[in-house]
Structure 1
């Protein structure tokens, strides 16, 4: 069960029995796509396939198993979505028995994939259903009972529906794992393998992600049959259209630097490690006059959906988020991503950075570090294939404004009378970064152990939420 060597470069050695993959398609018209799909593509202004689409569509349309890697924002959804819909067209699902399944790790990605594929599904008269946690399960049961040819699901919620006898996967002949590397981690893997074991054994399987590594191998070897490997851009290629900056900041000044960046003209996405830190920074920014919203796994799905919609429309200019926003979030013209907490894993850096410079655009990624974090951050970026520009900055300096567009916030609280007080000292250490309100304990907070315990508890709770969709 060795993968075929594609004409596109990839990181795996070519097996001795490799066959030659067809050349990439020059246009959608060169492919065996239905006329309804071609008309919809033209109507939506999609005229030429992106590299990952051009590489994978010929094989996927033939029903081959696919292992695909393409940079974030490269068009992977249509790369697997168009062949899935085309090969399902003309069939009708029986109640509770979908014909095609797309598994994704987050609710936001499920909604984004559903929105992206719905126009083409409608053109082919296919019914789609999104199955995710945090939303009324009764509506999803009804949608499956009425019949849906294509289901887009998070593993936890789909598992719940199967347990309730509201869904059966035995007739699923096309299965996609999007963000396959994340679906391979321990929080998802047991449910993912359980679901994959239930789909039709002779069906087509496609695994897609911006990063493919050894973590995915167990899924590849267990479920893909003679797959074609298409890798458009090596791992470093996911970040080469962006500017990368490391800003070295003084600890007590970190809060003020973050606030001034958030107050810039234009939208910005701020990443932090914990939900507590996200909520605390969001409250501070709004008290400082910055239109910020929080996104993390403890928010209800209506809250998450509303916050994302407000950020995409420009009603919110700042999205403060945990890594729940590192995948599946597409915002047009988002030109700045800031790692307030530096990532400790190169894959996390790649996916956070991938929220900007999407669809061939450009963007800027900024990582704030203390002096003691520089060595670890350098290692992470080197493994991600990034050579950042390193600059020492302080709040209020021209260098900070030049790189990020930072400016002084208005200071007028957005929630008058809400009990959110404006911070008295904007240069106080950021309370989400291992510090405490007790000044007697110094800048290190209650203790490093307390901070580590809180992060461990956050990680455990996040893993439970991932399992529950």
Structure 2
């Protein structure tokens, strides 16, 4: 675990720039130098000349440089050289980690380093969101030396137990200031704390502000800083234009700029704004691609590939594409919606004039946005030329190459994974013939729902096999009873000896004379209104009404009419007058 205590010598030490003519003089292995020459890279950029020797020596390095200055090779070359000298990685234990803020930047770094890694026997793998876990997990289980990851997906892989950082020898934070701006600082801090405390750490960023400085002081030891330009500097080969436009002419001006010759990147503030602008451009005859975080990774990869290969000349994006995307030949960047942060402006503008090329940046500004936009540009260190323009103006065509769109609507294909790049080195999304990928299945391989002949599955039953609810002939079940068996409520004839009593039965004469049953009188006892007699059908007593002339005259009412008190229920005798 890395120590939480700040390093005593964490204050960056500025190093003197070193003038070097080729990569061999930097101390790189000859295999890497040959691979660079095959890629057409022979002379190192300034940031590479400054940082590679210290990184190869094992020191912690802070690299600060403008976007497009060659930072990827500045950290990638020493990482490949050091990892190649240590042999293969154990399964699930990568030896180097490169953390980046976006998926596109991770893939770009991977594409740039994979051909060089093959030259020295080093394997790389990206770990980013938006794609299935299967390939990433399989690669880690086989063992990869370098993992290029976004913080969120790497944290998920660690939580799944398929990646461990306890053998990391060198960690790189690329675009560290953007990771802080995007809120990744807690995840980055947690990931760095899982790496060994004595591991080498390289941090590259366009700016080194307070949030980045907190990482430096906690995790870096005696770092050396190499800065190739001030934090707010703009590229000297870049022209900046502030186009003051009427509100109702905004789309018409944007469409005429998009119809120009050459590659153009346009930036909108929201995902909905990007999609709406792409649809409107297609309606007037300009084919454009949309790139933002709401697209699936498959669509984002295809859109970027089409832009790089020239199948679309306009790419409309949110700030997710402002960093890390390197496309050769982008000659114009258009801020359809002006950014509010000077960092965002510099990183958007950095998509053009890369690696010594020239380019232009145009910002469309409405009257109410002028004051805030100028204040933002002043903080960014940019002094743009301000021009009022309308659709069709000659000055607009002179500054941006704008021209009238064709007006013939462009048929927009539904989003699908197709049109992968052909030829050249393999890149993300390409697959050689016969290689398996997620969702592919060789012929004859079983999958869910397939069943060989004769195999039993749930619901199948061989002939004669018993299952719940089946009963062979003659087997007893609930409710079945053999002949003659007694059950509750049944009584065969003759199952009780004569004279045996049961509930409700009373044989004749089983009560002494004079004993009164409940609710009745023995035979012979007289009461008013009837006589109690034995009932042969029921085996008990019943009340039988008797004719009045069969009763004695004094028996009416159960008591004599004269003498004593009257009993309850007795009928008062009729009084005669």
Q: TM-score, normalised by structure 1?
A: 0.84
Partner SS, residue 354 of structure 2? coil
- SS of the residue 1:175 aligns to: strand
Is 1:389 aligned with 2:416?
Answer: no
Give how far 1:411 is off: 1.0
Is 1:343 the counterpart of 2:352 in the alignment? Answer: no
Matching residue of 1:39: 34
Separation (CA, whole Å) in 1 of partners of 2:145 and 2:161:
17
The Cα of 1:239 is off from its aligned counterpart by 2.5
Question: d(CA) in 2 for partners of 1:411 and 1:113?
Answer: 39
Q: Please state whether the residue corresponding to 1:270 is helix, strand or coil.
A: strand
The 5 Å alignment of 1:66-465 reads 66-90=61-85, 91-185=87-181, 187-415=183-411
- 1:401 CA drift (Å): 0.8
Shift of 1:237: 3.4
**In structure 2, distance between residues paired with 1:173 and 1:413:** 55
* Cα deviation 1:264-283 (Å, max 9, x = unaligned): 11111000110000000001
> C-alpha distance in 1, partners of 2:259/2:156?
42
Deviation at 1:26, TM superposition (A): 3.6
Runs of 4+, deviation exceeding 6 Å: none
Instruction: Say which of 24, 41, 50 aligns to 2:45.
Output: 50
1:233-284 CA-to-partner distances (Å, cap 9, x unmatched) read 1124342220000000000111111111111111110001100000000011
Q: After superposition, what is the alpha-carbon deviation per residue over 1:69-113, rounded to whole angstroms, capped at 9, x for unaligned?
A: 111111101100010111111321111110000000000000000
Q: Distance in 2 between matches of 1:258 and 1:4?
A: 44
The match for 1:5 is 13
Larger deviation: 89-98 or 78-87? 89-98
Asked if the contact 1:244–1:364 (Cα under 8 Å) also holds between the matched residues in 2, the reply is: yes
Deviations 1:155-200 (A, max 9, x none): 1111111111110111011000000101123621111111111111
Following TM superposition, by how much is the alpha carbon of 1:31 offset from its aligned partner in structure 2, in angstroms? 1.9
CA contact (8 A) 1:294 1:307 kept: yes
Q: Which of these two proteins has the greater Rg computed from alpha carbons? A: 2
Structure 1 gap segments, 5+ residues each: 9-21, 419-469
Greater relative contact order, per chain length (Cα 8 Å cut-off, separation 6+): 1
Q: How far off its partner does 1:4 sit?
A: 4.4
Separation in 2, partners of 1:6, 1:297? 37
Matched position secondary structure for 1:294 = strand
**Where does residue 23 of structure 2 map in the other structure?**
28
**Cα drift, residue 5 of structure 1:** 2.8
Instruction: Decide whether the 8 Å contact of 1:174 with 1:204 is kept in 2.
Output: yes
What secondary structure sits across from 1:374 in the alignment? helix
Task: Give the superposition deviation at 1:214.
Answer: 2.0
Alpha-carbon distance between aligned partners in 2 of 1:65 and 1:416, rounded to the nearest angstrom: 49
Distance 1:339 1:187 in 2: 24
Looking at structure 2, the residues matched to 57 and 292 of structure 1 have their Cα atoms a distance apart, in angstroms, of: 39
Q: 1:363 to 1:87 in 2, by over 3 A?
A: same
Q: Which moved more, 1:145-154 or 1:407-416?
A: 407-416
What is the DSSP-based 3-state SS (H/G/I as helix, E as strand, rest coil) of the residue aligned with 1:140? helix
- Structure 2 CA distance for aligned equivalents of residues 259 and 114 of structure 1: 34
Per the TM alignment, residue 23 of structure 1 is displaced from its structure 2 partner at its CA by: 3.4
- Structure having the higher helix fraction is 1
TM-score (norm 2): 0.69
| Per-residue deviation, 1:29 | 1.7
- Distance of aligned partners of 1:2 and 1:200 in 2 relative to their CA distance in 1, 3 Å threshold: closer
In structure 2, the residue corresponding to 1:335 is in which secondary structure?
strand
DSSP 3-state at the match of 1:387: coil
- The structural deviation recorded for 1:416 is 7.8
Which 10-residue stretch deviates more, 29-38 or 104-113? 29-38
CA distance in 1, matches of 2:346, 2:51: 22
Q: How far apart, CA to CA, are the structure 1 residues paired with 2:277 and 2:64?
A: 34
**Secondary structure of the corresponding residue to residue 94 of structure 2:** coil
> Match of 1:62?
57
Matched length:
405
